[in-house]
Amino acid sequence: MTRGQKNNNPLNIRKVAGTVWKGQRTLQADREFVQFITVEWGIRAAFRLLETYRKKYNAVCIQDIITRWAPPSENNTSAYIKDVCRLTGFGGQERLTAAQLQKLVAAMARIESRMELTDAQLAEGWELYMRN
């Protein structure tokens, strides 16, 4: 079982001092990554971060999102971008719509934590996100 699977955190969202996520476990035993009570809450957090990327950094395509998510100083960002494009079928500079975000999160979860998210999990995570 991967760390992301154990933490119900499919995109391996790191802890940030002062940030408390809806749906996070009361006890946070992992020092680096947020732990959620269910995978759907982890998916919701991913959608929230993608919204922040869009609003704050104008990251609206796979290339922009992944470059920010997995910077070249720490990752093989170009390989990550290619893998996400291959898994989603979207172009690297294609402006993504809200309807495409579930597919994006599913692809990123496969890369980040080897999780195969179901359509039901993605839909529930999206519903939690839409409720805020």
The per-residue pLDDT string of the chain (132 residues; one tens digit each, 9 = 90 and over) reads: 999 999 999 999 999 999 999 999 999 999 999 999 999 999 999 999 999 999 999 999 999 999 999 999 999 999 999 999 999 999 999 999 999 999 999 999 999 999 999 999 999 999 999 997
- The helix-helix angle for 39-57 and 119-130 (nearest 10°) equals 60
**What are the structure tokens assigned to 66, written together?**
């992944």
pTM assigned to the model = 0.96
Residue for token digits 């998210």? 117
Q: Tell me the pLDDT tens digit for each residue of 68-100.
A: 999 999 999 999 999 999 999 999 999 999 999
53/48 Cα distance (integer angstroms):
9
**What are the structure tokens assigned to 55, written together?**
């609003």
67/30 Cα distance (integer angstroms):
25
